[in-house]
Amino acid sequence: MNAAQARMKAVEILKKNPFVAAATPELDASILLSKILGVSRTMLLAHPEIGLTREQEKDFISQLEMRLQGTPIAYITQEKEFWGLRFKVTPAVLIPKPDTEILVERACGIVQSIRIAHPGAPIRVLDVCTGSGCIAIAVKRSCPYAEVSATDISGEALEIARENSRALVDDEVSFIQGDLRQGLPRIQGGWSLVVSNPPYVPSLVARSLLEDGRGEPLSALDGGSDGLDLVRALVPAALDVLAPNSRILIESGEYNASETARILKSSGFTDIVIHKDLENQDRVAEG
Cα–Cα distance for residue pair 200/132, rounded to 1 Å = 17
- Kindly state the smallest distance separating residue 132's Cβ from ligand GLN, in Å: 11
152 marked as binding residue: yes
200 carries a ligand binding annotation:
yes
Q: Please state the closest distance from residue 228 (CB atom) to ligand GLN, in A.
A: 11
Q: Which is nearer to ligand GLN, 60 or 200 (CB)?
A: 200
200 binds ligand GLN (CB under 6 A): yes
199 labelled binding-site residue: yes
The verdict on 232 binding ligand GLN (CB under 6 A) reads no
Residue from 52, 92, 94, 128 in contact with ligand GLN (CB under 6 A): 94
Amino acid at site 229 = D
The answer to the question of residue 97 lying near ligand GLN (CB under 6 A) is: yes
Locate the DSSP E strands across 129-272: 147-152, 173-177, 191-196, 242-251
CB distance 143 to 131 below 8 Å? no
Contact residue for ligand GLN among 25, 72, 199, 217 (CB under 6 A):
199
Nearer to ligand GLN, 9 or 97 (CB): 97
Q: Is 155 helix (H, G, I), strand (E, B) or coil?
A: helix
Which residues face 242 on adjacent strands? 191
Amino acid sitting at position 220: A
Amino acid 132 reads: S
β-sheet with 282-286: strand ranges across = 173-177, 147-152, 124-128, 191-196, 242-251, 282-286, 273-276
Contact region with ligand GLN (CB under 6 A), list: 64-72, 170-178, 181-189, 196-204: 196-204
Pairing of strands 191-196, 273-276: unpaired
Per CB under 6 A, contacts with ligand GLN among 242-271 are none
CB of 139 to ligand GLN, least distance (A): 17
- Of 225, 176, 65, give the one whose Cα is nearest residue 32: 65
Nearest CB to ligand GLN, comparing residues 34 and 131: 131
Strand partners, 2: 51
- For residue 221, the minimal CB distance to ligand GLN (Å) is 4
> Nearest distance from residue 129's CB to ligand GLN, in Å?
7
Question: Which residues make up the interface to ligand GLN (CB under 6 A)?
Answer: 94, 97, 197-201, 221
Give the residue numbers of the binding site.
152, 197-200
